[in-house]
Structure 1
Amino acid sequence: MKDCIEELALFGGSPSFPEKLHVGRPNLGDRERFLARVNEMFDRNWLTNNGPLVQELEQKLAGMLGVRNCIVLCNATVALEIAVRALGLTGEVIVPSFTFVATAHSLQWQEITPVFCDIDPDTHTLDPQAVRRMITPRTSGIVGVHLWGRPCNVEALTEIAESHNLKLMFDAAHAFGCSHNGKMIGNFGNAEVFSFHATKFFNTFEGGAIVTNSDELAAKIRLMKNFGFAGYDNVIYVGTNGKMTEICAAMGLTGLESLDDFIAVNHRNYRRYSAELADIPGVSLIKYNDKERCNCQYIVLEIDEGKAGLNRDYLVEVLHAENVMARRYFYPGCHRMEPYRSYFPHAELLLPNTERLAQRVMSLPTGTAVDEEDIKAIGRIIRLAVSHGGEITGRLAKTKTGLI
């Protein structure tokens, strides 16, 4: 246990952890069950092209979410791109900047302009009033992001979309297994997109899914993910290759069998972090609605420099030196990345909440790779850093200006 800042690894002490603790280290289900599925796959000699494991995964996901249609794909970025095209979005589409850049890229890649909109400072999701202000005659849709698994203001965004005849879809990459007003995420808007990347609490190695209650839209998406084929030698639509492989589906089916265990671990970790970080000045852990289903896969902090005595970036430096690989999410915001930075050089003037949060938010390791003792140690590091925030800030500031 470290009692003074001289013992921090940043200032010459030994790291608290011998190996790096990463945000988003993969959860693994029962290895034997996975390998059994892989052996069955090899016995069938059916590796891709809508095999039985993909079909089973789609059916189980649709049943769990209570949606009519689930189409699994090779990754969530391709899923976003296909959903955007299937919905016929054109011109301008309103999106948050406080999200992973794939949300914006899925539009820009298809020559659709992502119009960055500010977020609610409390929910970190699209501010409906700001959305209204961003609508122009060229606007064709809205893409909301259920950030950290916490749902957007679905009702307000739905009302806006309907009143302006806009398409509404949701990037639900963080929200698999979460609910809103008792209904599972996946049932809102025209379509919702999930990510099953290895860093997500439920993964298929690489993968994603589009879910929708529109049979017509689902049929179009199924054509588009497989080059537009409707049977052998019969192409009836422009499409691409977005298919999920059988081995990825095997991982997904295996992970589903352990899903409740993964979520239970996440909830345990969240409770432990809540206890360890309680009453640390300037450190706020985001809250989840305990009346809804939530995957709790993100441990997200806001750092108030004025109260903590050091800023988010300095705290991240302290943690990295201890081999706690905290992440700045979502820094610096899509509007400050290329090509958007060049396209919209003054976007920050319209995004004050996004700008503020991009400087304050960080995420800590959780999942099955982290135990309660790890969390206690991380909490002690943060508490020590904040208790000496002014001194740490002074030392790091001098180092960066070359004064020492």
Structure 2
Amino acid sequence: MAKSKSISSHQNIEDLAFFGGSPTFSKPLHVGRPNIGNRERLLERINDALDRKWLSNDGPFVQELEQRFADYAGGKYCIAMCNGTISLEIAIRALDLQGEVIVPSFTFIATAHALQWQKITPVFCDIDPITHNIDPNSIEKLITPKTTGILGVHVWGRPCNIDLLEKIARKHDLKLAFDASHAVGCSHQGQTIGNFGEASIFSFHATKFFNTFEGGAVVTNNEQLAEKIRLMKNFGFGPGYDNVIYIGTNGKMNEISAAMGLTSLDSINDFIDINRQNYQQYRQKLSGIPGIKFTTYNENEKNNYQYIILEVDDRETKFTRDELVEILHAENVLARRYFFPGCHQMEPYRSYFPNTNLLLPETEKLTRKVLSLPTGTAVDINKINEICRIIQLVVKQGKKLRERLDRENSQKH
């Protein structure tokens, strides 16, 4: 593996690649680079599936993954599917959600689309600026006679205020479910995250620290709901042949994806250990830097440490989050904006609800601040130190950077 170029030459902002210097890294460092477990074990499983010639339709690897993941996530039942979005859509339909469902705008667009795709109106709720999760105190004023549910999102794997959400749902007779795409391996008050609400929906996309190439699952403690979801994800087929007893679609996970999931589960603790070490190193290097807020995890709970999240306050740094992204990209650090610009600012919701931004002040602020840095197996301690030195440099010379950026912008125009 090629060693990173030292940042020792980056003594001033003029040395940055953004201004014509050499990039710190010769190859791009990605956010969400796929983790690969024991490759030999994965190939053994794939060969087993090929030898059996049972590649789909609830094969033995899918059945094993469902059992093992249910145990890991803390729920009684797990239904594995082809991806997280289909998992969301089927869970929403199985819960008989209709009319309006309250959901945060600060989430991946699939959370909203899974509702709108089924002619359910996503009613966007503001977030708590501290947790980045849906703000329970903003929910009740959004409830109307058409409201049938609340869909919370455990952003960064940090659980929503589950207790308060459950209280609101009971009070107003609403269904409560959770998009737990970020929350594999996380806990709330000592209980793993699959224990809460009517259902928890997971994504096993390749960019997640636990992946099945592409996949997802619904975890629930409700046996009737689990059986309904099983029917719906397989065209409504009941026991026996040619026995369709319910309306359904094709949401099945294949055996090759399940083989990857089982191999990922074998190594999941190793993946989390790497994430934790990276998180601790980033925290040590970046905490206390003016204008850079480092998002932390509750050490009394289980965390997967999957995301390294900063908030950039341009009033202190003198540069914006987007300018920092450009600077990092030039150094081959492919930092990302999450979840910019918010679902409410994307189509069709921007056209459907043109004034929603006025109701979501905290969401609007956060989407302009949040920055995600590379972690997982994409980096090591040395690379993290180099990334942090870049950020330390631009913050330290923020005033000088601002002057240089303004001067170049004026020359362009």
Q: Say if 2:14 is the partner of 1:6.
A: yes
SS at match of 1:174: coil
Stretches of structure 2 that go unaligned for 5 or more consecutive residues are 1-7
- Report the AA paired with residue 375 of structure 2: T
Distance in 1 between residues matched to 2:87 and 2:103, nearest whole Å: 16
SS at match of 2:194: coil
Equivalent residue for 1:96, pick from 101, 104, 115: 104
Equivalent residue for 1:125, pick from 102, 124, 133: 133
Q: Say if 2:312 is the partner of 1:303.
A: yes
SS at match of 2:242: coil
- Mapping for residues 39-188 of structure 1, pairs under 5 Å: 39-188=47-196
Distance in 2 between residues matched to 1:108 and 1:175, nearest whole Å: 24
CA shift for structure 1 position 403? 4.2
CA shift for structure 1 position 398? 4.2
2:281 maps to what in 1? 272
Identity %: 62
Q: Say if 2:378 is the partner of 1:369.
A: yes
Equivalent residue for 2:37, pick from 25, 29, 37: 29
Distance in 1 between residues matched to 2:169 and 2:39, nearest whole Å: 45
Distance in 2 between residues matched to 1:351 and 1:313, nearest whole Å: 21
- Report the AA paired with residue 89 of structure 1: L
Q: Say if 2:228 is the partner of 1:226.
A: no
Distance in 2 between residues matched to 1:242 and 1:390, nearest whole Å: 53
- Report the AA paired with residue 228 of structure 1: G
2:74–2:193: 8 Å Cα contact kept in structure 1? no
1:309–1:388: 8 Å Cα contact kept in structure 2? no
1:347 maps to what in 2? 356
The normalised TM-score by structure 2 is: 0.96
More displaced stretch, 57-66 vs 106-115: 57-66
Q: Say if 2:197 is the partner of 1:189.
A: yes
Aligned length: 404
CA shift for structure 1 position 399? 3.6
Distance in 1 between residues matched to 2:225 and 2:234, nearest whole Å: 15
- Mapping for residues 322-333 of structure 1, pairs under 5 Å: 322-333=331-342
CA shift for structure 1 position 391? 2.7
More displaced stretch, 302-311 vs 165-174: 302-311
Distance in 2 between residues matched to 1:22 and 1:392, nearest whole Å: 25
- Report the AA paired with residue 269 of structure 2: D
1:314–1:393: 8 Å Cα contact kept in structure 2? no
Q: Say if 2:403 is the partner of 1:394.
A: yes
Stretches of structure 1 that go unaligned for 5 or more consecutive residues are none
1:179–1:293: 8 Å Cα contact kept in structure 2? yes
1:289 maps to what in 2? 298
1:95–1:116: 8 Å Cα contact kept in structure 2? yes
Distance in 2 between residues matched to 1:55 and 1:377, nearest whole Å: 44
2:323 maps to what in 1? 314
Distance in 1 between residues matched to 2:274 and 2:51, nearest whole Å: 35
SS at match of 1:209: strand
CA shift for structure 1 position 248? 0.2
For the aligned residues, what is the CA RMSD?
0.9
Cα deviation code 1:310-338 (max 9, x no counterpart)? 11011111100000000000100000000
Distance in 1 between residues matched to 2:112 and 2:249, nearest whole Å: 20
- Mapping for residues 376-387 of structure 1, pairs under 5 Å: 376-387=385-396
- Report the AA paired with residue 324 of structure 1: V
More displaced stretch, 60-69 vs 312-321: 60-69
SS at match of 1:186: helix
- Report the AA paired with residue 352 of structure 1: P
More displaced stretch, 192-201 vs 230-239: 230-239
Distance in 2 between residues matched to 1:397 and 1:239, nearest whole Å: 57
SS at match of 1:328: coil
CA shift for structure 1 position 182? 0.2
SS at match of 2:11: coil
- Report the AA paired with residue 300 of structure 1: I
The normalised TM-score by structure 1 is: 0.99
Distance in 2 between residues matched to 1:292 and 1:147, nearest whole Å: 15
Distance in 2 between residues matched to 1:95 and 1:166, nearest whole Å: 13
- Report the AA paired with residue 187 of structure 2: S
Compared CA separation, residues 401 and 187, structure 1 to 2 (3 A)? farther
Equivalent residue for 1:240, pick from 232, 241, 249: 249
SS at match of 1:362: strand
1:170–1:189: 8 Å Cα contact kept in structure 2? yes
CA shift for structure 1 position 287? 1.1
1:356 maps to what in 2? 365
CA shift for structure 1 position 94? 0.2
SS at match of 1:265: helix
Distance in 2 between residues matched to 1:275 and 1:323, nearest whole Å: 22
SS at match of 1:94: strand
